[in-house]
Amino acid sequence: MTEEETTETQEEIPVLATGLSIAFGYSDAPDPEPGSRRRGGPDRFADLRQWQPKTRLGRMVMNGEILNYNQAMATGLPIREVEIIDALIPNLEEDVLAVNMIQRMTDSGRRVRFNVLCVVGNQDGYVGLAICKGKEVASTIQKAITKAKMSLVPVMRGNGSWESGQGPGKSVPIKVTGRSGSTRVTLMPAPAGKGLVIGDTGRRVLNKAGITDVWSSTSGQTRTTINFAQATFNALKQLNMTRIGDRDKQRLHITQGEGSV
């Protein structure tokens, strides 16, 4: 093959978001994480190959005008199709935190429904949490995963502990508190290597967010899985609402989402 033919072949490959490139065979899919629910499961890129965008933002993603999540958020357009998330962040992994059975006695008999709490994240700066109710477990889990993807938020990470040395870190940059019901979860910066000093439910949420080191303190009914998870998630959302100067961002090595500040 001559150099001209090679150049023409390269030009024929369109520039698309990562998920679309994998779905249409322009790039290879990432290897699944150990213990992932997707390993050996159905093709998760099949829906992207059959996707027909119905919104303006979806058409922009399909046409290659938007290549990452930060660009999508910068447009100011609402995300109303889950395929947009799958196209921009294809390496999201889900974790079902709780499945509760709800029984209610009615005139026609006992009514059984299920309450599912699910968290999704790419373990590198993005996380989403959602709770859904339904009559069947499998369909409710899928609905919760879809809703969690639609509630995805970028996570602010940095090195805010006085015990750490200079350089970037994967802890929270400042002390922050999240609330849900009577549960209060306070996240504090920790040095690299400390790990996640928090309960199991909060640890699973922070793990999906890409935070590896954190101190924490809790109060209220922390045994309630739903409130504990939502309070931890709300603490991460509070970080995005905090005003931090450019000088402090550089000093704390703050990154948000894919690395932008």
Q: Give the CATH number of domain 156-256; options: 3.30.230.10, 2.40.30.110, 1.10.238.10, 2.60.40.10.
A: 3.30.230.10
70: number of Cβ within 10 Å: 15
Domains 93-152 and 156-256 equal at CATH topology level: no
Dihedral sign from CA coordinates of 30, 36, 42, 47: negative
Of all residues in the chain, the percent with pLDDT exceeding 70 is 87
* Residue whose pair of structure tokens reads 């065979």 in the numeric block: 25
The answer on pLDDT for 35 being more than 80 is no
Task: Give the separation between CA 177 and CA 166, rounded to whole angstroms.
Answer: 25
What CATH code would you report for 93-152? 3.30.160.20
Tens digit of each residue's pLDDT (9 = 90 or more) over 232-251: 999 999 998 888 888 988 88
Residue ranges covered by each domain of the chain: 3-88, 93-152, 156-256
Q: How confident is the model at residue 166 (pLDDT cuts 50, 70, 90)?
A: confident
Q: What is the pTM of this model?
A: 0.85
- When pLDDT is cut at 50, 70 and 90, the band that residue 4 belongs to is low
Smallest Cα–Cα separation from 77: which of 89, 65, 93, 92? Answer: 65
